[in-house]
Amino acid sequence: MNILVCISKAPDTTSKIAFTNGNTQFDENGVQYIVNPYDEWYALVRALELKEAQGGNVTIITVGTTADDAVIRKALAIGADDAVRIDAPASDAYFVAMQIAEYAKGKGFDLILTGKETIDYNGSQVAGMLAEALELPYIAIATKLDVAGSTISCEREIVGGMQEVEVQAPAVISCAKGMAEQRIPNMRGIMAARTKPLNVVAPAALDALTTYSTYSMPAAKSSVQLIDPNNLDELVALLHNEAKVI
Protein backbone atom coordinates (compact mmCIF):
# COMPACT_ATOMS: atom_id res chain seq x y z
CA MET A 1 0.00 0.00 0.00
CA ASN A 2 1.37 3.39 -0.96
CA ILE A 3 0.38 6.17 1.39
CA LEU A 4 0.95 9.88 0.96
CA VAL A 5 0.76 11.91 4.17
CA CYS A 6 0.45 15.69 3.83
CA ILE A 7 2.21 17.49 6.62
CA SER A 8 2.37 21.14 7.53
CA LYS A 9 4.55 23.02 9.91
CA ALA A 10 2.77 24.86 12.71
CA PRO A 11 3.96 27.11 15.52
CA ASP A 12 4.49 25.30 18.82
CA THR A 13 1.31 25.51 20.88
CA THR A 14 2.97 27.69 23.53
CA SER A 15 4.14 30.29 20.96
CA LYS A 16 3.35 33.90 21.63
CA ILE A 17 1.07 34.99 18.81
CA ALA A 18 1.91 38.46 17.46
CA PHE A 19 1.96 40.24 14.11
CA THR A 20 4.36 42.66 12.38
CA ASN A 21 4.42 44.98 9.38
CA GLY A 22 1.27 46.85 10.38
CA ASN A 23 -0.45 43.62 11.46
CA THR A 24 -0.13 42.07 8.02
CA GLN A 25 2.34 39.30 8.87
CA PHE A 26 2.70 36.65 11.56
CA ASP A 27 5.68 37.54 13.73
CA GLU A 28 7.95 34.49 13.54
CA ASN A 29 10.42 35.98 15.98
CA GLY A 30 11.24 33.36 18.61
CA VAL A 31 8.61 30.96 17.25
CA GLN A 32 9.49 27.25 17.29
CA TYR A 33 7.90 25.21 14.53
CA ILE A 34 6.55 21.71 15.05
CA VAL A 35 4.82 19.23 12.76
CA ASN A 36 1.14 20.16 12.89
CA PRO A 37 -0.16 17.84 15.67
CA TYR A 38 -3.06 16.34 13.67
CA ASP A 39 -0.74 15.51 10.78
CA GLU A 40 1.85 13.96 13.06
CA TRP A 41 -0.11 12.25 15.83
CA TYR A 42 -2.90 10.81 13.73
CA ALA A 43 -2.27 10.84 9.96
CA LEU A 44 1.41 9.93 9.99
CA VAL A 45 1.29 7.44 12.87
CA ARG A 46 -1.74 5.64 11.42
CA ALA A 47 -0.04 5.48 8.01
CA LEU A 48 3.01 3.89 9.66
CA GLU A 49 0.84 1.38 11.54
CA LEU A 50 -0.87 0.35 8.29
CA LYS A 51 2.47 -0.02 6.55
CA GLU A 52 3.89 -2.07 9.42
CA ALA A 53 0.90 -4.41 9.28
CA GLN A 54 0.46 -4.67 5.52
CA GLY A 55 3.67 -3.53 3.87
CA GLY A 56 4.07 -0.62 1.47
CA ASN A 57 5.56 2.83 1.58
CA VAL A 58 4.83 6.06 3.45
CA THR A 59 5.77 9.28 1.70
CA ILE A 60 5.34 12.65 3.39
CA ILE A 61 4.78 15.81 1.40
CA THR A 62 4.78 19.47 2.30
CA VAL A 63 4.61 22.71 0.35
CA GLY A 64 7.22 25.04 1.78
CA THR A 65 10.72 26.47 1.75
CA THR A 66 14.05 25.20 3.07
CA ALA A 67 12.98 26.56 6.47
CA ASP A 68 10.58 23.60 6.63
CA ASP A 69 13.25 20.93 6.26
CA ALA A 70 13.54 20.59 10.05
CA VAL A 71 9.90 19.53 10.45
CA ILE A 72 10.27 17.21 7.46
CA ARG A 73 13.23 15.49 9.17
CA LYS A 74 11.16 15.17 12.35
CA ALA A 75 8.42 13.36 10.40
CA LEU A 76 11.04 11.14 8.77
CA ALA A 77 12.46 10.37 12.22
CA ILE A 78 9.04 9.15 13.33
CA GLY A 79 9.23 6.62 10.50
CA ALA A 80 8.15 7.91 7.07
CA ASP A 81 10.20 6.36 4.25
CA ASP A 82 10.79 9.40 2.09
CA ALA A 83 9.76 13.02 1.75
CA VAL A 84 8.77 15.50 -0.93
CA ARG A 85 8.94 19.26 -0.56
CA ILE A 86 7.29 21.39 -3.22
CA ASP A 87 9.59 24.35 -3.17
CA ALA A 88 7.30 27.36 -2.66
CA PRO A 89 5.88 29.33 0.26
CA ALA A 90 2.45 27.97 1.23
CA SER A 91 0.42 31.01 0.17
CA ASP A 92 -3.10 29.65 0.74
CA ALA A 93 -4.91 26.34 1.14
CA TYR A 94 -5.88 26.22 -2.55
CA PHE A 95 -2.29 26.77 -3.64
CA VAL A 96 -1.06 24.03 -1.30
CA ALA A 97 -3.74 21.53 -2.29
CA MET A 98 -3.28 22.10 -6.02
CA GLN A 99 0.51 21.74 -5.76
CA ILE A 100 0.10 18.44 -3.92
CA ALA A 101 -2.51 17.30 -6.44
CA GLU A 102 -0.13 18.08 -9.31
CA TYR A 103 2.53 15.95 -7.65
CA ALA A 104 0.26 13.07 -6.64
CA LYS A 105 -1.48 12.74 -10.00
CA GLY A 106 -0.73 9.40 -11.67
CA LYS A 107 1.63 8.22 -8.89
CA GLY A 108 -0.71 5.47 -7.73
CA PHE A 109 -1.15 6.40 -4.06
CA ASP A 110 -3.81 4.20 -2.44
CA LEU A 111 -4.40 6.55 0.44
CA ILE A 112 -3.80 10.27 0.88
CA LEU A 113 -3.96 11.39 4.51
CA THR A 114 -3.99 14.85 6.09
CA GLY A 115 -4.63 16.13 9.61
CA LYS A 116 -8.14 17.44 10.22
CA GLU A 117 -6.85 21.03 10.25
CA THR A 118 -3.70 22.98 11.04
CA ILE A 119 -3.45 24.70 14.39
CA ASP A 120 -2.41 28.01 12.80
CA TYR A 121 -4.92 28.74 10.05
CA ASN A 122 -7.47 26.10 11.12
CA GLY A 123 -9.16 26.05 7.73
CA SER A 124 -9.78 22.30 7.34
CA GLN A 125 -9.50 22.92 3.62
CA VAL A 126 -6.54 21.13 2.03
CA ALA A 127 -7.91 17.57 2.12
CA GLY A 128 -11.24 18.43 0.50
CA MET A 129 -9.55 20.53 -2.17
CA LEU A 130 -7.10 17.75 -2.91
CA ALA A 131 -9.92 15.22 -3.22
CA GLU A 132 -11.77 17.43 -5.69
CA ALA A 133 -8.65 18.13 -7.74
CA LEU A 134 -7.84 14.40 -7.94
CA GLU A 135 -11.53 13.44 -8.32
CA LEU A 136 -11.32 11.07 -5.34
CA PRO A 137 -13.78 10.28 -2.55
CA TYR A 138 -13.18 12.19 0.67
CA ILE A 139 -13.85 11.14 4.23
CA ALA A 140 -13.57 14.19 6.46
CA ILE A 141 -12.51 14.10 10.10
CA ALA A 142 -12.07 10.38 10.54
CA THR A 143 -11.35 9.03 14.01
CA LYS A 144 -10.60 5.44 12.89
CA LEU A 145 -9.07 4.06 9.72
CA ASP A 146 -8.63 0.49 8.54
CA VAL A 147 -7.81 -0.99 5.15
CA ALA A 148 -8.64 -4.50 3.91
CA GLY A 149 -7.71 -5.09 0.30
CA SER A 150 -9.07 -2.11 -1.59
CA THR A 151 -11.78 -1.36 0.98
CA ILE A 152 -11.12 1.54 3.32
CA SER A 153 -13.27 1.64 6.45
CA CYS A 154 -13.46 4.67 8.68
CA GLU A 155 -15.30 6.06 11.61
CA ARG A 156 -16.06 9.70 11.00
CA GLU A 157 -17.64 12.48 13.02
CA ILE A 158 -21.04 13.66 11.88
CA VAL A 159 -23.11 16.49 13.34
CA GLY A 160 -24.18 15.15 16.75
CA GLY A 161 -22.60 11.70 16.48
CA MET A 162 -20.39 9.18 14.72
CA GLN A 163 -20.69 7.05 11.63
CA GLU A 164 -18.96 3.95 10.25
CA VAL A 165 -18.40 4.26 6.52
CA GLU A 166 -16.63 2.41 3.72
CA VAL A 167 -15.13 3.59 0.48
CA GLN A 168 -12.98 2.03 -2.24
CA ALA A 169 -9.33 3.07 -2.53
CA PRO A 170 -7.88 5.41 -3.60
CA ALA A 171 -9.35 8.06 -1.30
CA VAL A 172 -8.44 11.17 0.67
CA ILE A 173 -8.98 11.09 4.43
CA SER A 174 -8.51 13.82 7.04
CA CYS A 175 -7.47 12.41 10.38
CA ALA A 176 -8.50 13.32 13.93
CA LYS A 177 -8.06 12.13 17.47
CA GLY A 178 -8.83 8.48 18.14
CA MET A 179 -7.06 7.15 15.06
CA ALA A 180 -3.63 6.61 16.61
CA GLU A 181 -1.38 7.59 19.51
CA GLN A 182 1.51 10.03 19.30
CA ARG A 183 4.94 8.39 18.76
CA ILE A 184 8.13 9.89 20.13
CA PRO A 185 11.01 9.44 17.66
CA ASN A 186 13.93 7.41 19.04
CA MET A 187 17.66 7.95 18.46
CA ARG A 188 17.77 5.38 15.67
CA GLY A 189 14.89 7.08 13.89
CA ILE A 190 16.55 10.47 14.22
CA MET A 191 19.84 9.14 12.81
CA ALA A 192 18.09 7.32 9.95
CA ALA A 193 16.08 10.45 9.07
CA ARG A 194 19.26 12.29 8.14
CA THR A 195 19.86 10.07 5.13
CA LYS A 196 16.31 9.36 4.00
CA PRO A 197 15.45 10.86 0.58
CA LEU A 198 14.03 14.40 0.56
CA ASN A 199 12.93 15.14 -2.95
CA VAL A 200 12.65 18.88 -3.66
CA VAL A 201 10.22 19.55 -6.51
CA ALA A 202 9.69 22.80 -8.42
CA PRO A 203 6.18 24.22 -7.97
CA ALA A 204 3.58 24.27 -10.73
CA ALA A 205 2.51 27.70 -12.01
CA LEU A 206 -0.57 28.46 -9.89
CA ASP A 207 -2.20 31.39 -8.15
CA ALA A 208 -3.67 31.53 -4.67
CA LEU A 209 -7.40 32.36 -4.46
CA THR A 210 -7.27 34.15 -1.11
CA THR A 211 -5.04 36.46 0.92
CA TYR A 212 -4.98 37.59 4.53
CA SER A 213 -5.17 41.37 4.41
CA THR A 214 -4.60 41.94 8.14
CA TYR A 215 -4.69 40.31 11.57
CA SER A 216 -5.93 41.45 14.95
CA MET A 217 -5.83 40.27 18.54
CA PRO A 218 -8.93 39.62 20.67
CA ALA A 219 -9.82 42.41 23.10
CA ALA A 220 -8.29 41.86 26.53
CA LYS A 221 -10.73 40.49 29.11
CA SER A 222 -11.61 42.82 31.95
CA SER A 223 -10.67 41.30 35.28
CA VAL A 224 -12.65 38.46 36.74
CA GLN A 225 -15.57 39.07 39.09
CA LEU A 226 -15.25 36.69 42.04
CA ILE A 227 -18.37 35.10 43.48
CA ASP A 228 -18.78 33.62 46.96
CA PRO A 229 -18.81 29.80 46.62
CA ASN A 230 -21.70 29.75 49.07
CA ASN A 231 -23.82 32.12 47.02
CA LEU A 232 -24.52 30.46 43.71
CA ASP A 233 -27.88 32.22 43.46
CA GLU A 234 -25.90 35.43 42.97
CA LEU A 235 -23.97 33.86 40.09
CA VAL A 236 -27.16 32.65 38.43
CA ALA A 237 -28.71 36.10 38.83
CA LEU A 238 -25.63 37.73 37.25
CA LEU A 239 -25.67 35.29 34.35
CA HIS A 240 -29.29 36.17 33.77
CA ASN A 241 -29.39 39.93 34.44
CA GLU A 242 -25.89 41.15 33.69
CA ALA A 243 -24.38 38.67 31.19
CA LYS A 244 -27.80 37.79 29.73
CA VAL A 245 -26.68 34.30 28.74
CA ILE A 246 -29.30 32.27 30.61
Ligand X SMILES: Cc1cc2nc3c(=O)[nH]c(=O)nc-3n(C[C@H](O)[C@H](O)[C@H](O)COP(=O)(O)OP(=O)(O)OC[C@H]3O[C@@H](n4cnc5c(N)ncnc54)[C@H](O)[C@@H]3O)c2cc1C
Q: Are 127 and 138 within 8 A, CB to CB?
A: yes
Instruction: Tell me which of ligand X, other proteins, none is bound by residue 141, counting a contact when its beta carbon lies within the kind-specific cut-off of 5 to 8 angstroms.
Output: other proteins
Residues in 181-200 at the binding interface with ligand X, rule: CB under 6 A: none
Q: Which is nearer to other proteins, 13 or 29 (CB)?
A: 13
37, 123, 178, 185: residue in contact with ligand X (rule CB under 6 A): 37
Nearer to other proteins, 65 or 122 (CB): 122
Smallest distance, other proteins to C-beta of residue 20, A:
13
Q: Which of residues 23-42 bind other proteins (CB under 8 A)?
A: 37-38
Report the DSSP pairing between strands 25-26 and 19-20: antiparallel
How far is it, in rounded angstroms, from Cα 4 to Cα 213?
Answer: 32
Q: What distance in Å separates the CA atoms of residue 246 and residue 235, rounded to the nearest whole number?
A: 11
Distance between CA atoms of residues 207 and 91, nearest Å = 9
**Of residues 175-204, which lie at the interface with other proteins (CB under 8 A)?**
176-178
Among 34, 57, 137, 183, binds other proteins (CB under 8 A): 137
- Helix pair angle (93-104, 126-133), 10° resolution: 40
Q: Does 225 bind other proteins (CB under 8 A)?
A: yes
Could you say which of 48, 50, 72, 129 contacts other proteins (CB under 8 A)? 129
* 91 in Cβ contact with 64 (< 8 Å): no
Question: Residue 75 Cβ, how far from other proteins at the closest point, in Å?
Answer: 17
Q: Quick one: 52 or 166, whose CB is closer to other proteins?
A: 166
**Interface residue with other proteins, options 140, 147, 175, 193 (CB under 8 A):** 140
Q: How far apart are CB 218 and other proteins at their closest, in Å?
A: 7
Q: 191 vs 237, which CB is nearer to other proteins? A: 237
* DSSP one-letter code for 220: P
> Does residue number 128 form part of the binding site for ligand X (CB under 6 A)?
no
CB of 157 to ligand X, least distance (A): 16
Cβ contacts of 106-110, under 8 Å, gap ≥ 24: 107/2, 107/4, 108/2, 109/2, 109/3, 109/4, 109/59, 109/170, 110/1, 110/2, 110/3, 110/56, 110/147, 110/150, 110/169, 110/170
Pairing of strands 111-115, 171-175: parallel
Tell me the pairing of strands 161-168 and 111-115.
Answer: unpaired
Does 241 contact other proteins by CB under 8 A? no
Toward other proteins, which CB reaches closer, 29 or 213?
213
Does 13 help bind ligand X (rule: CB under 6 A)? yes
Residues forming the site for ligand X (CB under 6 A)? 13, 37
